Amino acid sequence: MHLSEQEQIRREKLQQLKELGIDPYPAPLFPVNTTAAYIRENYKGEENKADFAEVCLAGRIMSIRDMGKASFAVMQDSTSRIQIYVRRDDICPGEDKTLYDKVWKHLSDIGDIYGIKGFVFTTKTGETSIHVQELTLLTKALKPLPVVKEAEGQTFDAVTDPEFKYRQRYADLVINPQVRETFVKRTKMINTIREFLNERGALEVDTPVLQAIPGGAAARPFITHHNALDVPFYLRIANELYLKRCIVGGFDWVYEFSRNFRNEGMDRTHNPEFTILEWYTAYKDYYWMMETTEQLLEKVAIALHGTTELTVGEKTISFKAPFKRISIFESVKENTGIDISELDEAGLREVCKKLNIPVDPNIGKGKLIDEIFGATSEHTYTQPTFITDYPVEMSPLTKKHRSKAGLVERFELMVNGKEIANAYSELNDPIDQRERFEEQVKLMERGDDEAMFIDQDFLRALEYGMPPTSGIGIGIDRLCMLMTNQPSIQDVLLFPQMRPENFED
């Protein structure tokens, strides 16, 4: 293993600590009773200093300023940073000054984790600090952190390299506190959604990740093998068909935050492993679903920002209901001047040729319409917009429109030029569903590797009778990008997929 000079020096310090009888990785219990953020927000000086006379804090040392027999350092815990004051005679009251002179001054490094006990005070420059009376090494860091400097409200030498940030997220989280805030907001967003659904009587359930048949979406699956059963299995591409089985079984409203896997490309808005929220509600339709989605996103925006208006890049996006609604054919016509609503497959291919849209010769009518919409219209919707009433060829799991022949009751929610949600009045006619699965098999035989399999067990479930139902899938990662103003899906995933490193080089 190749070690840098800094890494070699730290390992030498580690050995010296052991020779001094100091365990650099002691038992984990340390009686923390406060946080840096709490102290900074609540300490008022003389007014309440008695409440902060015995604080116990643990965190990572981010800088040290040595002044001989005393020193100032910056400690960072999970909430914030705070200055600490370490004086030799306070932490070493007897004749033995090893803890300060040797351990603290010469064997400590940026990144080491210490536990401290002391009292809070205000320095002559007005900075809230902790006067340390006891000091304990809790973890010796063997790898140096990239040093990020801050002065006069500005940050210097910030680590912005995506390769570093995504591969070594643990280090990214330490040196870039704003990154931690993104993931705190992500959790708050998910908790707000869960609260919204639970308050309305929805039941959270779990469904299989390993599936014998990958159903519920048009996507290329990851394939694995079940050794005990000696059969191939697939990582789920969607949990839709299992949640519908729950509706057949008698639940009125079920939901799941589903980790899905699709063996497809990676870009700014796609990761092969991602999180979708899906819910299904009996006796509702896609009109009800649009209204409920508006209510949910209003609640999420207000919970995270205190307002329905968000800044995303240089744009201001409002999640104030109601959202605009437009059919997919009207959208394409509005953006291209071409009416594709009556065209067959050959006519759609001519439109693609005219608009210079490259398409796979193996895909059918539904995928062609999707390609045309994606190339000409999707990116034009900055404000939340429901794209409605898709052709039946695009939606093999959706109920036919109650009044418009050839269409289904479906919408996709577009925000900032990307799909955030996809919803249907669900198809519950088992005969119609079987016919549509069979059409998907024909597409698969033509070479469409994203076409759906026939799920015989799901068809059997439908034959027992599924009540009229509406369902939706909301991309949690994409929604988080919007709600935290992040430009890439990798910025809202703690550990995004990357090509494996070669540690032997």
Tell whether residue 412 is among the known ligand binding residues. Answer: yes
Tell whether residue 298 is among the known ligand binding residues. Answer: no
Nearest to 267 by CA among 34, 37, 490: 490
Sign of CA dihedral 210, 215, 217, 220: positive
- What Rg value do the Cα atoms of the chain yield, rounded? 29
pTM, to two decimals: 0.89
Question: Between helices 456-464 and 430-446, what is the axis angle to 10°?
Answer: 170
- Alpha-carbon distance values, 86 to 10, 77, 129, 225, 390 (Å): 22, 17, 10, 58, 68
- How many CB atoms are located within 10 Å of the residue 485 CB? 16
Peptide bond into 322 cis (omega under 30): yes
In terms of Cβ atoms closer than 10 Å to its own Cβ (0-12, 13-18, 19+), residue 103 is: buried
In CATH, which of 2.40.37.10, 2.40.50.140, 3.40.190.10, 3.65.10.10 is domain 5-145? 2.40.50.140
The pair of three-digit structure tokens given for residue 332, joined into one six-digit string: 């394409």
CB 152 within 8 Å of CB 179: no
The pair of three-digit structure tokens given for residue 145, joined into one six-digit string: 């952190």
* Those residues with Cβ within 8 angstroms of residue 163's Cβ, 6 or more apart along the chain or in another chain: none
Name the helix (H) or strand (E) containing 482. helix 476-484
d(CA 156, CA 151): 8
CB 386 within 8 Å of CB 422: no
Q: Where are the domains of the chain?
A: 5-145, 179-323+383-492
pLDDT in tens, the chain (505 residues): 789 999 999 999 999 999 999 999 999 899 999 999 999 999 999 999 999 999 999 999 999 999 999 999 999 999 999 999 999 999 999 999 999 999 999 999 999 999 999 999 999 999 999 999 999 999 999 999 987 666 566 654 567 788 899 999 999 999 998 899 999 999 999 999 999 999 999 999 999 999 998 888 878 899 999 999 999 999 999 999 999 999 999 999 999 999 999 998 889 889 999 999 999 999 999 999 999 999 999 999 999 999 999 999 999 999 999 999 999 999 999 999 999 999 999 999 999 999 999 998 888 888 899 999 999 999 999 999 999 999 888 888 889 999 998 889 999 999 999 999 999 999 999 999 999 888 888 888 888 777 778 899 999 999 999 999 999 999 999 999 999 999 999 999 999 998 888 776 5
- Alpha-carbon distance values, 267 to 23, 272, 281, 476, 477 (Å): 46, 10, 33, 16, 13
The pair of three-digit structure tokens given for residue 22, joined into one six-digit string: 């100091």
Please give the biggest Cα pair distance in the chain. Answer: 93
CATH topology of domain 179-323+383-492: BirA Bifunctional Protein; domain 2 (3.30.930)
- Alpha-carbon distance values, 275 to 175, 257, 474 (Å): 27, 7, 9
Contacts 24+ apart (CB under 8 A), 464-468: 464/248, 465/248, 465/428, 466/244, 466/247, 466/248, 466/426, 466/428, 467/247, 467/282, 467/283, 467/428, 468/282, 468/283, 468/284, 468/285, 468/425, 468/426, 468/428
